[in-house]
Structures are given as structure tokens and as C-alpha cells.
Structure 1
């Protein structure tokens, strides 16, 4: 299942590449250059089916099928072996690919949902509804503090089953004043980015360790891309100079392939303008790092929400089989039995969700 941590790189990276492609002097009524998202493909060469996260196509409108020129894959908490198996199959299936970019997001440890019977599971099982995102992140790290908040809330109003409202650190107090920083943006020196593990109620919901970019291009005259090792980091360190150079080289090779589709151009001058144009992409890796920090929170919230609804869905008002079709006096089955409340902790076991 795609997560925010999976999508953040694709969104910012794809936006930068698409912006550069849009600046190329191409008559879009003759030739379409598109960066497709999650497009399902099947290779006529090998029969392999794939759905790349991003795929770059050059498609003459009236002169044959589109050509797959580049692929971007993003992997979050997956084994490198499995991801590289897919990438190799894509290279074999589509020899026209000139550029492959793999974004590999890894965590400190494999993610697991809270197990039934643990204090974390028991705490969330006592709530009749899923916490809102703000209230979830406002909960303490320790389960003892979470339990204290819940006990104080229920003791103050024993008739209420609502979860305790906790002031979220992400919400601004409208009455508070915001001090304007006098320093100019040019003088601002960003602090090194640190993404702390997200721990709520003694459970780690997301802990991003590092983000690597692997970039490969097909050299001139080669039949296909040689998938050698080429790791570059964006987090925790930004070491992207070489990767950015290789990406630029790959996009220049993509433009050369586009120019080979000269039969779709109606004039030589249009072709010369395209040949002279530079395909430059400007990446802001610091902004991508900031997006990663935000997306780690969204990923943690998504893990909690999916786990909660899968674990406790439908067990607040369960029905027994004999109640559901209990006959009425006239012999007609009753389709509207009175529900009986069943506490989550006494419900049937359900398998925890793992990414």
C-alpha cells in the first residue's frame, strides 16, 4: 500500500522533471511527452507486467506507439533484493529505457502493528472511535501517561465514552502572537534535518533511517542499462551532486531519442530548436528533506488509522447469528435486531496489519 513516505519523493521529483519537459519547444499536437503515474505495462518482448511509480513516454500522435524512455521507482520498507528484481525485469522487458531512478526509503527496523494483549493494544481498544490525527500526535510517548489521561477523562465524566481531547502541538493558539524574524531569507542557514522516530503510546509507528537515490543510464551503443551500484543520499546527508549530474546526463539522452522522432515534425527549424534546447532540471533537495519529515508523520498516522479500523471494525455493535434472523410472531424473519455492545478487548481475534 502506498504511504506518504513513499509518495513524497515521487511528487516533488516528478514535479521538477515535468516542469523541465514542459519547457521543451515541442508541438504537443504532434508529439506528446508525458510522465505517467502508476501506469500498468506489459512487455511484448518478455511478457513481464509492471506498474512503475513514474514512467516517461514519448508518443507521436499519428506515427506509431509511444516509447518508454525512463522509469522512476520508489520503495519504502521493502527489501532491496525484491526491488532490484523488478528493476532488472523492466530493463529486460523494455530495452528502450534510457534512464532509471530508484528512490529507496528505509526504516531502522521492520514495522509491526501493536499486538493484541500488549498495553498499547489495550489502551486503544478502550476507545469507541479512532483518534483524530491531531489528537493522536498529541498523545504522550509512554503508555503510562496515555493511561493517566484516559483515566482522568473517564473519572471526570463517567457517563461519557468520548476519548479525551488533548491539545495538539500542531495547532496554533489564535490568541498568541507570532514574532517576526528580522533575518532575511538569504541569511537563513537551515539546520541539519533530523527525523525522530514517531513513538505514541509506547509503539513506534514510523522511523525513517535514510533515503537513497540510485541512478542508471544506458550508455551510447549499449543494448540495455548496466545496473551497477550508484547509491547517493538525500537523508540523513545530502550527497546528490553526482546523482544530479547523472540524472541530467540521462535526461539529455532522453531528449536525443525524442529528436530521433524527426518524422513527426513538419519543419526542420522546429527540429533544430528542439536539438538546441537544454533539458535542465532544478532539484531542491532541502525541500524534499522537509517533505520527508512531514510525510513521516502522515505515514505514522496512516499506520495507526489502518490498524485501528482493521483491528476493531464492526465489533462495537456485533450481532449473534441467532439474533440476526430471529422470527417474529407472524413467522417473518426480523431484519432489524437490537444490537448488543461488545467491547473491543472481548471481540474475536483479528490479524494485525503490517506494511
Structure 2
């Protein structure tokens, strides 16, 4: 016989289980199992272990919002998976790690977990709570065809809360975890701003994956002490300055670790738009340069499809064909179904089951280089002296872009020379003539491979949403009847295995927690820009 013993402080005078709001204010006690008259301490979440070691309570939302978000939501999600009997207080159960929820058969788009997470932060009393809930509802349940959204008139507090919840919780998103950008429209902390939400694809990442390799090779070939001056290429690094929080597709930082010029610079920023609104991308770039006036090289890549992407319509020939598969197709199985020529060419559309999943129309590069004078880059200046445009596809004409990239490297070299002075001789570095070592034809090959990866991911998102996802009735598809009624916690855990707990109707029927359901979250409005 196994019993779980917890703290009496979790009960009020009427010996009733206290509310979840009250429970959240306590550091959860350590759960103990008594087996064969020997007490054995069960593992608890890491945040509880830290709280116990420091002999203090888990930080409240007011003192540490990020830790509260991380610990409360992960703990809640795990508890919902494991709690199976109403006689055991939820905070005294043995709590698995959040990975148990990730491995759960029915975790994807789990309405109860998501609803309670959002309801918890609505209860925090932030003035922006209602706005945050609305934003999360739209972002979590976004249409699978969406690649970018924007929300206007959002304050910084709401953005910080939404970004913390997205980054620090185990919420499942219809098409993956998004990338967020916040652009304030004023300099006051009370100013409103715009949130841009992006879901980058493999095609979206190609231009700067290739540039990453080229910049790394170029810096490695320059004669300077690379242990003292660090040149780092960042992919999707969040850059924060004042009220602005922006995540460019690629940035480069120079950092001096020794000498009189210890500093950090951002000399390069790159952004890509794949069938998104170019105006939003341009505004994002302007904000990035305004926050980092030392930028000397900016690259914008514009990728357009022949037709905006859309998934197979319900009951269309493609929908009827692909729904017959018992499980989703692997990448290898999917690409073997691509119709038409077997020659891998970017000019060929990707068609499967009669549906065109992707056909890239053109790929264009725009490059700005700061002149020798100290003025920052003016992105609205399209003068040939400062800006170059090149076509990678369908016709390759990248000479002007290549020349501008070489000029940008020369400008970056000047930063390195200034940072190296006073530490070691810069004579060899001053003589160096770096050339941007990118292979544009290889970029075309990378786009071909990425297009296939992207359409397969689009297929997976569509298949999950259409046949295995949240569009099915809540209590018909996402749950399975179980044989654990009347059984112990251990019996139910053994039946499903510790690594893959299965959610059942009985689990939620017996769950000792008041779960607030938000129907608008499951059937809420969606926004596609």
C-alpha cells in the first residue's frame, strides 16, 4: 500500500483543499512516499528544490514574474498529467518534470492546461491581463496558413508578460513557438507599440544560414588575436534597447575582452521576409538600426511565392487523398510524392496530391553600407552610393550585392582595428583585403532543399490541425477511456509508463482543482496578416 503524505498547511479549518490561487502563493511541500514502512522522498520540481535549499518561498509574481511563470505553469501542466485521485492534494503529489507533458500522448493543444495558464495570469491583477489573454488566444490557436501577425496599441507591460509566458511555459502552439518583436511608438514607458509575431520556416532561414558560414570564414581569415577580440555571428538573438525588443534573423557582435577599448558593437543586422508584409519588415529594420547606430552593414532578403501559401481546403481532392493516411507522412515519404519532374530545381513548384504547396517566384537581396562619415545608415536612401539590389532567382545577378558585401566587410575591419589598437600591432590587419566568401549558386541549392523541408512542415501543421488536432471535439478525440477508475496512482502510472503518461477522462473528472474553461480560447478568433 502506498500513501502520499503532505503538509497540513494545505488545508483550511474545514479540512478542505484550498484554492489554486492560494496554493500558488506557497512553496509546495516535498512529497513523501511510505513504502514498506520506509519513507522515501519523491522527486519534485527543480524550483521547489531550490526554494527548500534557500529556505524561502517560491517568488511571488510581484517579486519575480519570470520564475513564477516558469514554475507555476510547468508544475500545473505536470500535475494535470499525474493527478488521478481527488483525495490527494494537488500540491503534495509527486510532480514529474515538464518533459512528461511533452511526451504525453494528448499534450498537443491541451485546452485545460492552456486555459488554466492564461487564467492564472489574468488573476495577477495586471492592467494588461485582458489584452494578454486575447493576444495569447490568437497566437496559440493561429491558423496553420499564417506566417506573420501584428498587434497594434500594445503597451510594454503586456508585451513582457506575453513574451514571458511564451518563452517560459510548455504551451503548445498550432504551428510552433513564435518569434516576437516589440516596436514602441514613443519613448515613454506608457507609450503604446506594435507586436510582430513571426513563424520562420526553413526557407526563411536559408539566406542567413549561408551568410553565417561566409562571415565566419571571413573573420577567421583576418590577422588579429581572436582570443581577445570576439567576433560572433548570432542567429535569432534578441536585441533589447530601451523599450524596444527585436529579434533579427541574424546579427554580428564584436566584443573586446581586454585592453583600453573593451566594448561590444553590433556592426551587422540581417532580416528576411518570406511571403510576409515588406512594410513590417522594413519598419523592424529601421527600429533595429535606430537602436544600434554603430551598424555599418544591413541586408534585407525578400522571398516571394507565386501565390500566397494556403493548405488544402476541406474535402478538396488533396484533402481527401491525404486524409486516408493513418499517420502523417515522413519527410522521405512526402517528397517521393512530389509530382512532375524529378530534377530538383527552384523553378519547379512543389505539388503533392494535386495541391501546390510552394512555388517561389523571386528572391531579391537589398544591401546598405554606411559611408565613411559618421552618419548612421539611412534605410530610406536607395541611392546607388549607399544601397545595392541584386536578384538571386529567377535570374542571378548578384554582382552589385557582392561588391557591397565586400565594402561592408571593410567597414567592419575598421572596427576591429580600433578595438585592437593598444593591445597588439594592427599593421597586418590594416593590409588585409577581405572578400565576402559566399557561393551564390550554393544558396540556390540550399533554397531547393529548404523548400521541400518547408512544405513538409506545412503539411505536418495542416495534417495535425485538420485530422489530429484541436478541431476535433474536445472530449471525443483528445482523451481515451482508461481502465484506472478505482485504481491507485501507482497503478495508473505503471499502465502508461512513467515516460509517457496518458491523459484520460477519469484524470480530469477526479482532478482536485477548479479549472476555468475559456471557450473562446478553443474556438477563438484567428488573425492572419
**TM-score bucket (shorter structure):** 0.7 to 0.9
- Where structure 1 has 5 or more consecutive residues not aligned to the other structure, the ranges are 143-168, 171-190, 340-347
- Cα deviations across residues 277-324 of structure 1 (Å, max 9, x unaligned)? 122122221121122122212211121122212322266997489985
Q: 1:132 aligns with which of 326, 330, 333?
A: 330
Q: Which has the higher contact order (CA 8 A, sep 6+)?
A: 1
Q: 1:209 aligns with which of 361, 376, 388?
A: 361
Structure 1: distance between partners of 2:228 and 2:251: 20
The reply on whether 1:59 has 2:216 as its aligned counterpart is: no
Structure 1: distance between partners of 2:417 and 2:488: 75
Say whether the 8 Å CA contact 2:267–2:297 is kept in structure 1: yes
Aligned to 1:304, what secondary structure does the other structure show?
A: helix
Say whether the 8 Å CA contact 2:346–2:444 is kept in structure 1: no
Q: 1:250 aligns with which of 404, 408, 411?
A: 408
Q: 2:277 aligns with which of 64, 76, 79?
A: 79
* CA deviation after TM superposition for structure 1 residue 87, in Å: 0.6
Aligned to 2:378, what secondary structure does the other structure show?
A: coil
The residue that corresponds to 2:398 in the other structure is: 240
- In the alignment of these two chains, the number of paired residues is 295
The residue that corresponds to 2:444 in the other structure is: 289
- CA gap of 1:88–1:321, structure 2 versus 1, over 3 A, is closer
* CA deviation after TM superposition for structure 1 residue 66, in Å: 0.9
Question: Which TM-score applies when normalising by structure 2?
Answer: 0.50
- Cα deviations across residues 60-99 of structure 1 (Å, max 9, x unaligned)? 1135331011112122111111110111111111100000
* CA deviation after TM superposition for structure 1 residue 137, in Å: 2.7
- CA gap of 1:320–1:195, structure 2 versus 1, over 3 A, is closer
| Aligned positions of 1:18-33 closer than 5 A | 18-33=216-231
* CA deviation after TM superposition for structure 1 residue 136, in Å: 1.9
- Cα deviations across residues 108-149 of structure 1 (Å, max 9, x unaligned)? 11111122232322222222101122322333659xxxxxxx
- CA gap of 1:280–1:141, structure 2 versus 1, over 3 A, is closer
| Aligned positions of 1:266-281 closer than 5 A | 266-267=423-424, 270-281=425-436
- Where structure 2 has 5 or more consecutive residues not aligned to the other structure, the ranges are 1-198, 383-387, 496-501, 505-521
Say whether the 8 Å CA contact 1:213–1:243 is kept in structure 2: yes
| Aligned positions of 1:89-104 closer than 5 A | 89-104=287-302
Question: Which TM-score applies when normalising by structure 1?
Answer: 0.73
| Aligned positions of 1:1-355 closer than 5 A | 1-44=199-242, 47-62=243-258, 63-139=261-337, 141=339, 194-227=346-379, 228-229=381-382, 230-263=388-421, 265-267=422-424, 270-313=425-468, 319=476, 324=481
- CA gap of 1:194–1:67, structure 2 versus 1, over 3 A, is closer
Say whether the 8 Å CA contact 2:389–2:400 is kept in structure 1: no
The residue that corresponds to 2:101 in the other structure is: none
Aligned to 2:230, what secondary structure does the other structure show?
A: strand
* CA deviation after TM superposition for structure 1 residue 266, in Å: 2.6
Say whether the 8 Å CA contact 1:307–1:352 is kept in structure 2: no
Question: How well do the aligned residues superpose, as a CA RMSD in angstroms?
Answer: 3.7
